[in-house]
Amino acid sequence: MESSIDTLPRWNMQVVYPGLDSAEFEASFQEMVQAIDRLGTFFDEQAIMLRETSLPITPSTAATFEQALEQINILGRHIHLLDSYITSFTTTDSRDMLAQSRCSQLQKQQVRFSQIQTRFTAWIGSLEDVEALIAASAPAREHAHALRRAVIEATHLMSPAEEALAVELRLTGGSAWAKLYHNFTSQITAEVALPTGPQRLPMTAIRNLAFDPDRKVRQAGYEAEIAAWKANALPIAASLNSLKGEMLALSRKRGWDSPLDVALFYNAIDRETLEAMMRTSREAFPEFRRYLKAKARALGVPRLAWYDLFAPVGKSQKQWSFEEARVFIIEQFGTYSDALADLARRAFEERWIDAGPRDGKRGGAFCMWLRNDESRILANYQSAYGGMGTLAHELGHAYHNLRRAPYTYIQRRTPMTLAETASTFCETIVREAALAHADRLEQLAIIEASLQDTLQVVVDITSRFIFENQLFEKRQNQELSTEEFSEIMLQAQRDTYADGLDGDLLHPYMWAVKPHYYDSTFYNFPYMFGQLFSLGLYARYRDDPEAFKRSYDTLLSNTGMASAADLAAAFGFDLRSPDFWRDSLRTVSDDIDRFEQLVDGA
């Protein structure tokens, strides 16, 4: 039986506070403000800031460090809880003005906390010998990874006054440009020449036409979308020019060689690892083009156009109600471990999930850590395999959060490169089980949906990476026009998709479509890393399940306390070696083989 949207569960947030207008929430918020005040006073009294001369490691220095660390960890958790609680309202009802007001109030306090954390980093960088501190202090040893990274980060800080100003100006600089982009693009509409007649639709609905089984509908949506982006490109280009210009200026001022080096540092990998992954991915491009050509055969066209990338292939007869998905996920998670199944069971029973689509709710899906070992999952559940797969993916994030629960706020920080490890792994468990129970047409639909996703993560991500590299290179000298942005994007698509797509029907405005360019720097390659790393782990799990299980939970627990290379080494992986990435991509080749057999055997 198909789930009704009205009966799908909503998450329970009253276990935290009765409401945003409650006395309990207000008291907690004011307690947070006062804690920031006290911490700022403590930092002033102890002169925790950039020092002109190195500070020797004495019992007094160690005691100051431990007090500051404890307060930052406690306050960080408190601010995170408030942020997650407010987010639970803003993402499920964008018209909630009280939630939007609370969000704005919290952002101002987060700026203050960020300035304090920058002072702490600068102070750590001023220590005479951080290794001596690690030897002298148990809390320092527990946070050794973060301390060693802080020493490096401190070498890339501007003066205290400049750093404080940069954080404050961010609200009216880069954040304001990003806000303009999101607000402006969310209001774009266009008329689509549908076979049933012209219809004016919002951009989100136009882009969803790419999934329509009717090629004429997909083409009409594509043509309307391109025209709409072209007509609205000027303010979007202004946002992108300003954001990347700001990043270039700050990177240069902080002594980084390039914005890419900033992204690599905060994602906890080095250039050698990135280059090995990107080089090996390029080697696999012919395989992905083989998939695209097989999809063209399945659709009965000589070559895929851009608007065919997400066209459905095969047909899933199975309608997964939310209840059926719940039972199936718990059962399949149980084939891996009782702990994973228990986590999923708890998420359903304790109402961690806001499942149904509704007006004013954010699209897509995400999982956020709430407090201790609790998470909250937002979904827009559809009664199909894709809805179940997404749910399994987000529950994987929740399991990752569970494994990190015993650790401090600082220890829990996970780079994006490692954030997709458990989610992709759990999604793969459910996908393999669903395939085992599927008929031929449903297998085709499931494998094709998976290949669509991997194509985006490997091939399209590479095009986005190429685009952003070129953008930063050219932006050093001047602002770019909308035409220049589009030409760089088209060339990046030609370099990656090649003859897998019709070269006359690409998407020159993907720079305007993807919000990642406006939210962070090089918000692309970490996705590729995360998926391929997880596929490599899954391959190891299939080879030796019991040995894998003994190490996997430890890896998830330590994602904020070790580099990606060190964590991978526990499984015998060398991330700087192309062989690791080839092994991960081999699973994709197997899927393409299977896809071709299903297509050509039709």
* pLDDT tens by residue, 281-306: 999 999 999 999 999 999 999 999 99
Report the C-alpha gap between 497 and 537 in whole angstroms. Answer: 27
pLDDT band at 2 (very low <50, low <70, confident <90, very high): very low
Q: Is the pLDDT of residue 3 over 70?
A: no
Report the C-alpha gap between 384 and 2 in whole angstroms. Answer: 9
The pLDDT of 95-101, averaged and rounded, is 91
**How do the residues of the chain divide into helix, strand and coil, expressed in percent and rounded to 5?**
70, 5, 25
Give the pLDDT confidence score for residue 316 in this predicted structure.
Answer: 64
Give the pLDDT confidence score for residue 116 in this predicted structure.
Answer: 96
pTM to 2 decimal places: 0.86
The pLDDT of 163-169, averaged and rounded, is 89
Angle between helices 233-253 and 259-266 (to 10 degrees): 80
The pLDDT of 500-509, averaged and rounded, is 97
Q: Is the pLDDT of residue 309 over 90?
A: yes
The DSSP output letter for 457 is I
Q: Are 190 and 203 in contact (CB under 8 A)?
A: yes
Give the pLDDT confidence score for residue 52 in this predicted structure.
Answer: 84
Give the pLDDT confidence score for residue 317 in this predicted structure.
Answer: 65
Give the pLDDT confidence score for residue 505 in this predicted structure.
Answer: 97
Give the pLDDT confidence score for residue 86 in this predicted structure.
Answer: 96
Highest mean pLDDT among 37-46, 202-211, 438-447: 37-46
Q: Is the CA virtual torsion 261, 267, 268, 272 positive or negative? A: negative
The pLDDT of 172-187, averaged and rounded, is 85
Give the pLDDT confidence score for residue 5 in this predicted structure.
Answer: 54
Rg (CA), the chain: 25
CB atoms within 10 A of CB 501: 23
Give the pLDDT confidence score for residue 289 in this predicted structure.
Answer: 97
Cα–chain center distance at 440: 33
- The whole-chain average pLDDT of the chain stands at 92
Closest by Cα among 529, 505, 589 to 291: 589
Q: What angle do CA 274, 276, 279 make, to 5 degrees?
A: 105
Pairwise pLDDT comparison (2 vs 502), residue with the higher score: 502
Strand 353-354, strand 374-378: pairing: parallel
Q: Is the pLDDT of residue 1 over 50?
A: no
Pairwise pLDDT comparison (502 vs 383), residue with the higher score: 502
Give the pLDDT confidence score for residue 438 in this predicted structure.
Answer: 87
Q: Is the pLDDT of residue 421 over 60?
A: yes
> Above pLDDT 70, what percent of the chain?
98
